[in-house]
Amino acid sequence: MSTSSETIALGQPTVGDEELAAVAEVFRSGWLAGAGPTCRMFEERFAAATGTAHALSTSNCGSALYLGLRVLGVRPGDEVIVGDYTFPATGHAVLQAGATPVFADVRPDIWSADPAAVEALITPRTVGILAVDVAGQPGDFDEYRAIADKHGLWLFEDAACAAGATYRDRPAGSLADLAAFSFHGRKGITAGEGGALVSDREDLIEHARKLHTYGIEPAFSRGTRGELPIPVFHEAGYNFRLSDVQAAIMNVQLDRLPDLVAARRSVARRYHQAFAELDGVRVPVELPDRGHPWQAYILTIAEELGRDRVALELRERGIQCNFGTYASHLQPVYGEQRPLPVSADIFRRHLAIPMHANLTEHEVDRVGDTVRAVVTELS
């Protein structure tokens, strides 16, 4: 039985009157559909926030990943090296593009692809590297870039969780040829759903812009010309657009981003202190040359304690929690894969505890106290 009637949520968006006012303004404008003027405003602002020249808003991060692979020219028979410890949307996008995901084992400390493992997987069929910012913290992008350049590969950043993150003073999104972001409800900034593709390469983003609107230039772009253009379909595209209603929410969320990241960092510091000397639990690592946005706070639980036992006991006591993310190579959809021991180990032992910008000090302390109590009782 729970010891508290109040459950502390694993994740929670920070939204309020400002978002409602922005949505009302879109309603008054009459343009609610996707790829309209509010989307364009958000894209310009998001490109600036990510240190890139161009951005395209999308229906979600999965569609951004797929569009990115399409405009990079991925085709059947190609291999794409993917950091293994990630929600399978990353590997799914490679499959959907007709290529083969080749999963690389990860660093044991920050869980992103181990550069040595990446380079060891390169074959004549390899066309690129899809590197994941796990829980928002960027991986070793200077090393990835050196490998990509050495072997003539492209580099794609899965920055789904990384809005507001930095790597050696460069913002997440600016670290590769392309980057994809998520605005799902558990992410640092959110419209409930949504995503974005960013790049310094105008050719890639403009090709993706056509593909995300069935293969033609979006209506808003066409309507700004002093003529009546009749679009021509040269290739089959999709409806992967973000609505202007969602873009209005994202414009406000982008204003909130610095404060939201600061709030999450404060929660992470309190958790670090709470668990610093707790046997059987290892806290997540933030490398000194990176700015972690703390999309998730993931503990590593000692094997002898049993991650699942800890999780179920925490839930009984009103603390929402869940496994971290997936060791993708273990998922049946990808068929038989080579063993990846680091990713497989953390998949068994990771436990995500409440992390969002709305947590109060009292709630953070309660989470800390409850984790300590459960771990002590089970030790």
Active-site residue set: 187
Kind of pairing between the strands at 350-353 and 297-301 = antiparallel
Distance CA 8, CA 323 (A): 16
Nearest residue to 50 via CA among 144, 204, 189, 148:
189
The side-by-side arrangement of strands in the sheet containing 170-171 is: 170-171, 166-167, 290-291
Distance CA 147, CA 145 (A): 5
* Residues paired with residue 351 on neighbouring β-strands, in sequence order: 299
Instruction: Say what angle helices 244-275 and 361-378 make with each other, to 10 degrees.
Output: 50
User: Would you mind telling me the total number of residues written for the chain in this entry?
Assistant: 379
Residue 57 vs residues 191, 194, 305, 312, 360: alpha-carbon distances, Å: 12, 8, 43, 38, 32
Tokens 């913002």 correspond to 171
